[in-house]
Amino acid sequence: MKEFFKNKMTRIWVIVTSVVLVFLIVLTSLASTVLYRAICTFLGEERNGISGEGGNYYSTEYDTKEKAVKRANDVTRNIAEEGFVLLKNENNILPLKTSASDKKKISVFGKNSVNLSYAGSGSAGGDTSKAKTIYDSLEAAGYAYNTQLKAFYEDNSRSGSGRGDNPKIESGDGIAGFATGETPVTAYSGLESSYADSDMALVVFSRIGGEGYDLPTTMHKSFSDASKVDGAASADDHYFELDQNEQDLLQTVCEKFNKVVVIINSSSPMELGFLDSADDGDGTINDYDYATHIDGAIW
């Protein structure tokens, strides 16, 4: 045996053979496990199938697409009814009674009232182009609403551009802060007469977010710029607090209306200490006691 390995060519042959053998063993292991599906896809494989008449995999209760869509809408409405939470209802202010002979008028405040958040991001997103608006719902329930205020929010040249869209899940973009897009109260000049005869004010606060889009814990303009985003009370606030424009709007509405209801339009919990106390515990809310002026709140 020693004489066998003394030969240089023999040693080279043994080494090369051993390396090739190890390589083949590793390749075989990978082919039967990790690469099995890829190899089958490339080379083809025998698949199980059904010959002859297929089975009845799904028996539908609806004979038209329209009926199926209507049923889906009914289910969605039922989920919403069971999911909405009445956070506050002082003196049973809700529901506000209305009738054809005594139709109540409601002023809806908040830039995002004309740009509601209907879904999350990523796989939770979807086409919301045909979704009902808050104004559609008010009309359907028999209420009148402040058309001038709605037109004001729809006109970006008057009320501002509003919030940005959810980033695409595949973008991978991180954000240090995100502006709510709420309109500054200084922009409401000349609108006060439009809500003088309203019976109630709804104030809408929206927050977005979802899969692939974690929301920021600061209100910094960027990771390299620690100054605050537009409308923020402080750069060190977080996205789920009321920003300065929202605080100012809520204070103004509370001072102008006897009946105020807050609508939380968010798939994520917000910091709502202002519904119960003038102090939310961290000094971010200004020195106005919202709690005594807000009659109702819905999330």
Kindly tell me the burial class for residue 89, based on how many C-beta atoms sit within 10 Å of its own C-beta (0-12, 13-18, 19 or more): middle
Q: Return phi, psi of residue 264, to 5°.
A: -95, 110
Assigned token pair, 181:
């897009």
DSSP structural state of residue 166: P
Q: What is the pLDDT of residue 122?
A: 65
pLDDT of 244 higher than 80: yes
Residues 6+ apart with CB under 8 A from 276: 291
Among the residue ranges 110-124, 154-168, 273-287, the one predicted with the least confidence is 273-287
pLDDT of 218 higher than 70: yes
Cβ–Cβ under 8 Å, residues 177 and 216: yes
Cβ–Cβ under 8 Å, residues 188 and 146: no
- 50 pLDDT tier (thresholds 50, 70, 90): low
Using CA atoms of 242, 265, 85, 258 in order, give the dihedral in degrees to the nearest 10: 60
- 163 pLDDT tier (thresholds 50, 70, 90): confident
Report the predicted TM-score, pTM, of the whole model to 2 decimal places.
0.74
pLDDT of 171 higher than 90: no
